[in-house]
Chains A and B, each alone.
Chain A
Amino acid sequence: KAGVTQTPRYLIKTRGQQVTLSCSPISGHRSVSWYQQTPGQGLQFLFEYFSETQRNKGNFPGRFSGRQFSNSRSEMNVSTLELGDSALYLCASSPRPLNAGAEAFFGQGTRLTVV
């Protein structure tokens, strides 16, 4: 059974640009959640999608957005990139919504560097 796949693995962007990251969940999983990981702030929740609907959103500015498609694949978009957006972006999939107490399986992440 394939795991969670995130693409691309590495990305370098310039300040002011926008970026789209992709996450393919484990087959059959309908929940996809996104996280930002930095050395200073640790792992922070961005948002969760379940059956194409955003269920929860963390404390991030509106420049961070996402969506989920009917096949459960999800994309995350960051507009007007800032240097502080440099981070490892992780997505996780689970068979049920996170607040149902479902185990989340993580991908290896996309390392975004903003210069």
Chain B
Amino acid sequence: GESVGLHLPTLSVQEGDNSIINCAYSNSASDYFIWYKQESGKGPQFIIDIRSNMDKRQGQRVTVLLNKTVKHLSLQIAATQPGDSAVYFCAENQAGTALIFGKGTTLSVSS
């Protein structure tokens, strides 16, 4: 079936490093992608989004890259901090349907 998935279930980095979290999607008709962060005991929190007519979008310390050729999405976090430790989900918005989430990547940041 068509779904959004993540390459790695866990990622461990040192404070100050840059983190890259990857996501693969299979539906070329998807035209809107979102990254969410979920901390323990909380609901998902919007980080950044990107539309399919773009290949890069930057926010505060975060950058999302979209490669439609290989159906790949990535989230880059610059100067990762302990407060960035959380589960990160990518989601795609398929036309005519609603959000479909990947399984999530747990980011652990050590000091």
* Chain A residues engaging chain B, CB cutoff 8 angstroms: 4, 33, 35, 42-45, 48, 55-56, 58, 90, 92, 98-99, 101, 103-109
One of A58, A99, A109 near B43 (C-beta < 8 A): A109
Number of interchain pairs (Cβ within 8 Å): 62
From 53 to 98 in chain B, residues with beta carbon under 8 angstroms from any chain A beta carbon are 89, 91, 93-98
B contact residues around A45 at 8 Å (CB): 97-101
CA distance A105 to B37 in the complex (A): 12
B25-52 contact mask (Cβ, 8 Å, vs A): 1 or 0: 0000001101010000111111001010
B contact residues around A105 at 8 Å (CB): 46
Tell me whether A42 and B95 are in contact in the complex, defined as CB-CB below 8 angstroms, given that A104-B46, A105-B46 are known contacts: no
One of B32, B96, B100, B103 near A101 (C-beta < 8 A): B32
Tell me whether A103 and B34 are in contact in the complex, defined as CB-CB below 8 angstroms, given that A43-B44, A55-B98 are known contacts: yes
A contact residues around B99 at 8 Å (CB): 33, 35, 45, 98, 104
CA distance A58 to B99 in the complex (A): 10
CA distance A56 to B96 in the complex (A): 8
Output the residue of B51, B94, B96, B99 with the most chain A CB within 10 A: B99
A contact residues around B32 at 8 Å (CB): 99, 101
B contact residues around A106 at 8 Å (CB): 36, 43-45
Q: Is A99 in contact with B103, judged by CB distance below 8 angstroms? A: no
Closest B-chain residue to A44, C-beta based? Answer: B101
Instruction: Report the minimum CB–CB distance from A46 to chain B (whole Å).
Output: 9
CA distance A55 to B93 in the complex (A): 14
Q: Is A103 in contact with B98, judged by CB distance below 8 angstroms? A: no
CA distance A42 to B49 in the complex (A): 20
Q: Is B93 in contact with A98, judged by CB distance below 8 angstroms? A: yes
B contact residues around A58 at 8 Å (CB): 98
B contact residues around A90 at 8 Å (CB): 43-44
